[in-house]
Amino acid sequence: MRSTLRSFDLAHLAHIELLTPDPAASLHFFVNVFGMTESGRRGDSVYLRGWDDYERHTLKLTPSPVAGMGHMAFRATSPEALERRVAIIEASGLGKGWTDGDLGHGPAYAFTTTDGHNMEIYYETEWYAPPPERKPSLKNQAQRFPAHGANVRRIDHVNLLTSDVAELRHFMEDVLGMRTTEMIVLDSGREAGAWVTVTNKTYDLAFTLDHYGARGRFHHVTYALDSREEVLRAADIFLENGVFIETGPHKHAVQQTFFLYVYEPGGNRVEVDSAGARLMLAPDWQPVVWSEAERRKGQAWGLKTTDSFHTYGTPPIEQYVGTRRPI
Amino acid sequence: MRSTLRSFDLAHLAHIELLTPDPAASLHFFVNVFGMTESGRRGDSVYLRGWDDYERHTLKLTPSPVAGMGHMAFRATSPEALERRVAIIEASGLGKGWTDGDLGHGPAYAFTTTDGHNMEIYYETEWYAPPPERKPSLKNQAQRFPAHGANVRRIDHVNLLTSDVAELRHFMEDVLGMRTTEMIVLDSGREAGAWVTVTNKTYDLAFTLDHYGARGRFHHVTYALDSREEVLRAADIFLENGVFIETGPHKHAVQQTFFLYVYEPGGNRVEVDSAGARLMLAPDWQPVVWSEAERRKGQAWGLKTTDSFHTYGTPPIEQYVGTRRPI
Amino acid sequence: MRSTLRSFDLAHLAHIELLTPDPAASLHFFVNVFGMTESGRRGDSVYLRGWDDYERHTLKLTPSPVAGMGHMAFRATSPEALERRVAIIEASGLGKGWTDGDLGHGPAYAFTTTDGHNMEIYYETEWYAPPPERKPSLKNQAQRFPAHGANVRRIDHVNLLTSDVAELRHFMEDVLGMRTTEMIVLDSGREAGAWVTVTNKTYDLAFTLDHYGARGRFHHVTYALDSREEVLRAADIFLENGVFIETGPHKHAVQQTFFLYVYEPGGNRVEVDSAGARLMLAPDWQPVVWSEAERRKGQAWGLKTTDSFHTYGTPPIEQYVGTRRPI
Amino acid sequence: MRSTLRSFDLAHLAHIELLTPDPAASLHFFVNVFGMTESGRRGDSVYLRGWDDYERHTLKLTPSPVAGMGHMAFRATSPEALERRVAIIEASGLGKGWTDGDLGHGPAYAFTTTDGHNMEIYYETEWYAPPPERKPSLKNQAQRFPAHGANVRRIDHVNLLTSDVAELRHFMEDVLGMRTTEMIVLDSGREAGAWVTVTNKTYDLAFTLDHYGARGRFHHVTYALDSREEVLRAADIFLENGVFIETGPHKHAVQQTFFLYVYEPGGNRVEVDSAGARLMLAPDWQPVVWSEAERRKGQAWGLKTTDSFHTYGTPPIEQYVGTRRPI
């Protein structure tokens, strides 16, 4: 199970579009509880950012009858890298074609994963230019520290549900050029989870088996905080604001992230985390493979994983219709 | 002052050899105060590692009449990347040729910087295999958390002194393929400092003007801790062990690192730091350029930089002889 | 349910004697994992201390066929306060009489609680005088920071199990002059837990209903750390050393302590905690009373309390014999 | 230099009135930067509180031509303790008589210190009753965690300047019944500073020699945060808001507090600090006496104390007139 070499064509996870059936409550949550900054509106969508995100936005909030992920995006390393990667995606048969871009970024190439998740890549972007009241004191910082809510710093990673982990992992490795850093493989040999990266972060994207066998669902998006202490304080803030805390704060065994999962009012799971100084610097890292027995030990310090963490995703399965296949 | 694109041929800062006139005291410091693990000996040298370093060692401690840096090394991304880069270095005229490698790594190509610092690059390495008493509980970790001394996690960066910042920066960009993320430029136009990276860390190497105009001197090597709280606790530990604290803990304005500088008993400056979740993800980051006026404001929260931080390096200038030129 | 006023006759929780069926393993745990310092031996017992405990010891470790608490002690505010309080205890009929004291402290008056726990109070004590290698750099500190294991700072509180919370609470209030700060009262009106204090800490002693109806059992002793970050790091250290983590790290709803419970090798439950800046300064604080419904919400951030936390104590109930009455 | 025993008549430091020549800017600072909550207005004064202060307010902000302290107050342990202490103060000749109280507390007995600082003590108080939007999720908490600005938790201590430390110390010990925990004594035998407490905190009040020999001036008031990490984050917030940072964050040698001093816009020095788990539990603590030589070593980790910290107080000395005596 040797991982392909990281391609360097993708620079980093860029943004995510979350669909929410309760846009006002979701916006209140992301601004006043998460501590994000609104940086634009277009159509029904509101664009948001963490104080250290360098692009105009990393979160696009769009009203929708059901919760879920609209799409997610990666930024390419260069215009040439974008072209290279688009050619490979097109060859995979999963390309959907170019869009004109969106508020904050230029032309993007849209495609779906093998499991039906909507993704896009682009190169041209708008660096965030803070208005005077958001100008930081230190010029090497994207925006003033907000001192408001949980003060999320920057987008960290996205976690998807999938009906076929191995297939999606091969797509991420072979088509998008990502490197797999950790995996869960069941006793049957079936892959149950994979963590992949395009950076020195140990993962930018993760995906785990959909409990219901559904396709293309969303598990969570995570924003990074600077310390575990900030994650604990975020728990206090979620508690004070009546936000549903699903599990945490605790430390994952896989990837060792210090995690805290909550549901935003639209029903999507969101996380704040802290990785400390953990990075993936080795160019020849071989995936760490966790067995069923190892995973049964629970999280790093013994916490049993909450059932809903293994089953709940958006759109919620009860509202599943049409081409998707709930079990 | 547009930075060249990062080349991806170098994977990361790999190790440093420190020369010490008091090897026993230096070893005691790195093991019992810094909290490193001895992972080998060859000749007079002792090899040491932080608990999260994946290679066998990141610090080689070698007895010497005077303190300073023996050499520092980068690991290449692949055998092909190593070859590519060696060809470019040879073309620069600063190559010294191949060595057989050292304890823990394979053949290395040695060269000097424009300022005379000894460096090498290699690809083949030995992943650290912990003995039973150092085996971690979580299999995705290089070594058991030591719970001893300051518990330094992994090598973070090296800082050099140079007689010519601009020349060295061009070498790092053009020959080694690094990207410059921040700089200090004097009112005269002369460059006084530069921070360069080969990873998503905002710097792996920094260099500043040698106060005495000397060539090839060493400023400090830094090990990363997971949190600012751990840096503060390290200060307590340095205090208790009679270690000279030069400056800190405080937050740099440049790069915003939370720093703490001490002198190990051999006389070399060493640092523990924490960067929080700060990373350099943008592929088109333009160097932040600090002016003299901006630097006069002191560090991030106003601390004036200690004089010795601008003048002291190893070898100490008083022992400087021969081809080097103290002012 | 108005609490009596705090009497000021008792100065603070002083020490605890833990009984262990595996003395060598327990000693290894407290020294190398908890990070305590051995400060004396007498008979079969070993005396231990946290680095900020001002008395010679706060933990006495004594071999015994079964785990449990040998006794616990409070220090009086003055010789006069000791006499006053002894008279009141004698009048209660629970006094056992004076002892000659022990290593580190002078004559002590022994008594039992209404539930049969062994306690004593004394005034004369020996201030810890560190040997040269444990002398701190700052003269206002009891001992050098050890930089070893979890570095527990000072004894914080003891938690007992009891067959009758209300009776024990009245004893603590009326006879020992403690103040009740928080309580759990069942829908039936029966008291299920109480937290009492003799200081500005919000509790020095707690007691909860023994699940088995047994008398005089021990729940846990807690040592304080300076920050929640240190509690998290302690969890890493427990994990690395194969220590059984029962529950945590998490934040209690009652008292809001950040907790982490483990079993030392002898079978006794021990805790490390952090209270932040939380203190009980109001002289007329009225007990916070938690209902069954409120406690069903779990801990502060929603963690369900582990079953064993409600049932397990030492001596373990299976070994209960004689006058005690398991259900 | 044996300290008198603590009397227990005073329960804790209750509040301070700060005078500000720029009331609007001061109010903005305390609400939006410090993170306090406005809990009342009367006359020109605004009343403020930290989220864990149990009384209605701990800070009264009053417009005035010059900065300084209006008065500070202690709450007595009981009505009887109040009477006892008032009798002693009256006997000292420094009593000023009873007032009707103020918004949030009942009748107070006013007096001056030997150096002319205005103080008062009272027993009857108003417990803060949060409006619905400030109701905490946990019932054992005074107010919802604000997640705004530096989130100061509770008033911690006040520091005064005095023309005669020994005289003021004797007043605090003999008349107010405080205990001295640490002192600075010059080589000449003159006392230069003293830290006194009425609680298990290691100090509630400190006073140091006025550089100008002036009488009755104010040095700073401090609010506590839960962790050193929060103090560091407060530094970021002060930086972002253009607040003048005088010194810190760093650790004091005396009392080992982790400190950060800034000037609020009215010119008064204010501090945020963290003490970790440090408490003064020993009933017979003898004052730690620091010599000139020891103080010359700087703060705990070597930081030299800024000159202004030794000279600046409010009212600023330049505006000193009349009965006060600048040197």
Assess if residue D137 is contained within a domain. yes
Give the list of residues 6+ apart from residue B205 with CB closer than 8 angstroms, or none.
Answer: B13, B157, B158, B159, B160, B172, B178, B195, B196, B197
Percentage of residues of chain D with pLDDT beyond 70: 95
For residue B72, give its domain range. 10-318
Assess if residue A4 is contained within a domain. no
Question: Could you read off the pLDDT of B26-46 as tens digits, one per residue?
Answer: 999 999 999 999 999 999 999
Nearest CA to CA, how far is D230 from chain B (Å)? 10
Task: Please indicate whether, in this complex, the C-beta atoms of B249 and D245 are within 8 angstroms of each other.
Answer: no
- Between the alpha carbon of residue A270 and those of residues A68, A222, A301, D113, the distances in Å are 11, 6, 22, 56
Nearest CA to CA, how far is B141 from chain A (Å)? 9
What is the rounded CA–CA span in Å between residue A74 and residue B325? 50
What is the rounded CA–CA span in Å between residue C285 and residue C180? 9
Question: Could you read off the pLDDT of B276-321 as tens digits, one per residue?
Answer: 999 999 999 999 999 999 999 999 999 998 999 999 999 998 654 4
- The 3-state DSSP class for residue B165 equals helix
Mean pLDDT of chain B, nearest integer: 95
Task: Please indicate whether, in this complex, the C-beta atoms of D245 and B300 are within 8 angstroms of each other.
Answer: no
Question: Could you read off the pLDDT of A158-217 as tens digits, one per residue?
Answer: 999 999 999 999 999 999 999 999 999 999 999 999 999 999 999 999 999 999 999 999
For strand B45-49 and strand B59-63, is the pairing parallel, antiparallel, or unpaired? antiparallel
Instruction: Kindly tell me if the per-residue pLDDT of D5 is higher than 60.
Output: no
Q: Which of D259, D269, D262, D252 is nearest to D228 (CA)?
A: D259
Question: Could you read off the pLDDT of D234-281 as tens digits, one per residue?
Answer: 999 999 999 999 999 999 999 999 999 999 999 999 999 999 999 999
Question: Could you read off the pLDDT of B223-264 as tens digits, one per residue?
Answer: 999 999 999 999 999 999 999 999 999 999 999 999 999 999
8 Å CB contact between A89 and A103: no
Distant-in-sequence contacts of A188-196, Cβ < 8 A, 24+ apart: A190/A165, A190/A166, A191/A165, A191/A166, A192/A165, A193/A165, A193/A254, A194/A165, A194/A168, A194/A169, A194/A287, A195/A254, A195/A255, A196/A169, A196/A172
**Nearest residue of A to residue B138, measured between CA atoms:** A253
What is the rounded CA–CA span in Å between residue B311 and residue B210? 7
Q: What ipTM was estimated for this complex?
A: 0.95
Assess if residue D2 is contained within a domain. no
Question: How many other C-beta atoms lie within 10 A of the C-beta of residue D129?
Answer: 11
Determine what percent of chain D falls in helix, strand and coil, rounding each to the nearest 5. 20, 35, 45
> Can you read off the two tokens belonging to residue B186?
């004097």
Assess if residue B326 is contained within a domain. no
CATH number of the domain where residue D252 is located: 3.10.180.10
Q: Which of A244, A250, A263 is nearest to A303 (CA)?
A: A250
> Can you read off the two tokens belonging to residue A310?
């293994």
Question: What is the reported pLDDT for D326?
Answer: 35
Task: Please indicate whether, in this complex, the C-beta atoms of B11 and A226 are within 8 angstroms of each other.
Answer: no
Identify the burial level of D293 via C-beta atoms within 10 angstroms of its C-beta, where 0-12 means exposed, 13-18 middle and 19 or more buried.
Answer: exposed
Nearest CA to CA, how far is A174 from chain B (Å)? 18
> Can you read off the two tokens belonging to residue B252?
């740099």
Chains contacting chain D through 3 or more C-beta pairs under 8 A:
A, B, C
Instruction: Kindly tell me if the per-residue pLDDT of B323 is higher than 50.
Output: no
What is the rounded CA–CA span in Å between residue C164 and residue C161? 9
- The 3-state DSSP class for residue D71 equals strand
> Can you read off the two tokens belonging to residue A289?
């493979």
Question: How many other C-beta atoms lie within 10 A of the C-beta of residue B93?
Answer: 9
| Mean per-residue pLDDT, A24-40 | 98
Instruction: Kindly tell me if the per-residue pLDDT of A31 is higher than 70.
Output: yes
CB-based contact, A211 to chain C, within 8 Å: no
CB-based contact, C54 to chain D, within 8 Å: yes
The residue with tokens 């800082």 is B159
Nearest CA to CA, how far is A238 from chain C (Å)? 9
**Nearest residue of C to residue A234, measured between CA atoms:** C301
Question: How many other C-beta atoms lie within 10 A of the C-beta of residue D84?
Answer: 16
- Between the alpha carbon of residue D138 and those of residues A2, A229, C193, C308, the distances in Å are 50, 20, 17, 24
Task: Please indicate whether, in this complex, the C-beta atoms of D277 and C11 are within 8 angstroms of each other.
Answer: no
Question: How many other C-beta atoms lie within 10 A of the C-beta of residue A233?
Answer: 25
**Which of A155-159, B16-20, B75-79, D4-8 shows the lowest mean pLDDT across its residues?**
D4-8
| Mean per-residue pLDDT, D21-26 | 98
CB-based contact, C237 to chain B, within 8 Å: yes
What is the Cβ-side half-sphere exposure of residue A33, based on CA atoms within 13 angstroms?
24
Task: Please indicate whether, in this complex, the C-beta atoms of B147 and C144 are within 8 angstroms of each other.
Answer: no
8 Å CB contact between B20 and B62: yes
The model's confidence at residue B268, banded by pLDDT at 50, 70 and 90, is very high
8 Å CB contact between B161 and B218: yes
8 Å CB contact between A210 and A19: no
Output the DSSP codes for C209-254: E-TT--SS-EEEEEEE-S-HHHHHHHHHHHHHTTPEEEEEEEE-SS
Instruction: Kindly tell me if the per-residue pLDDT of A299 is higher than 80.
Output: yes
8 Å CB contact between B83 and B122: no
**Which of A75-84, B119-128, B282-291, D316-325 shows the lowest mean pLDDT across its residues?**
D316-325
8 Å CB contact between B231 and B273: yes
Question: What is the reported pLDDT for C7?
Answer: 81
Say how many CB pairs under 8 Å bridge B and C: 40
For residues D305 and A39, the model is more confident at A39
- Between the alpha carbon of residue C305 and those of residues B21, C147, C162, C205, the distances in Å are 56, 32, 19, 20
Q: Which chain C residues have a beta carbon less than 8 Å from that of A228?
A: 228-229, 232
| Mean per-residue pLDDT, D1-30 | 87
What is the rounded CA–CA span in Å between residue A84 and residue A81? 5
Assess if residue D5 is contained within a domain. no
Q: Which residues of chain C have pLDDT under 70?
A: 1-6, 318-327
Give the list of residues 6+ apart from residue A62 with CB closer than 8 angstroms, or none.
Answer: A17, A18, A19, A20, A23, A44, A45, A70
- The 3-state DSSP class for residue B113 equals coil
Of C35, C145, C242, the CB nearest to B237: C145
Cis peptide before B130 (omega within 30 of 0): no
DSSP-assigned letter for residue A4 = P
Q: Which chain C residues have a beta carbon less than 8 Å from that of B227?
A: 229
What order of strands is seen across the sheet that includes strand B179-185?
B244-251, B258-263, B269-274, B218-224, B154-162, B205-209, B191-197, B179-185, B288-290
| Mean per-residue pLDDT, B193-221 | 98
Question: What is the reported pLDDT for C264?
Answer: 98
- Total domains in chain A come to 1
Q: What is the largest CA-CA distance in chain D?
A: 58
Question: What is the reported pLDDT for B320?
Answer: 45
What order of strands is seen across the sheet that includes strand B59-63?
B37-42, B45-49, B59-63, B10-20, B68-76, B118-122, B108-112, B95-99
Assess if residue A292 is contained within a domain. yes
What is the rounded CA–CA span in Å between residue A53 and residue A224? 10
pTM of the model: 0.96
| Mean per-residue pLDDT, A133-137 | 98
Query: Any bridge partners for residue D96, and if so which?
Result: none
What order of strands is seen across the sheet that includes strand D269-274?
D244-251, D258-263, D269-274, D218-224, D154-162, D205-209, D191-197, D179-185, D288-290
The residue with tokens 């929780």 is C13
Residues 139-158 of B with CB under 8 A from C: 144-145, 147-150
Compute chain A's Rg from CA coordinates: 19
For residues A322 and A142, the model is more confident at A142
Assess if residue D1 is contained within a domain. no
Question: What is the reported pLDDT for C320?
Answer: 46
Nearest CA to CA, how far is A264 from chain D (Å)? 18
Cis peptide before C315 (omega within 30 of 0): yes
Of C228, C236, C248, the CB nearest to A232: C228
Assess if residue A324 is contained within a domain. no
- Between the alpha carbon of residue C186 and those of residues C255, C296, D317, the distances in Å are 18, 11, 61
Question: Could you read off the pLDDT of B143-153 as tens digits, one per residue?
Answer: 999 999 999 99
The model's confidence at residue D3, banded by pLDDT at 50, 70 and 90, is very low
Question: How many other C-beta atoms lie within 10 A of the C-beta of residue C266?
Answer: 26
Q: What is the largest CA-CA distance in chain B?
A: 58
Question: How many other C-beta atoms lie within 10 A of the C-beta of residue C31?
Answer: 18
What is the rounded CA–CA span in Å between residue C24 and residue A238? 44
Question: What is the reported pLDDT for A7?
Answer: 81
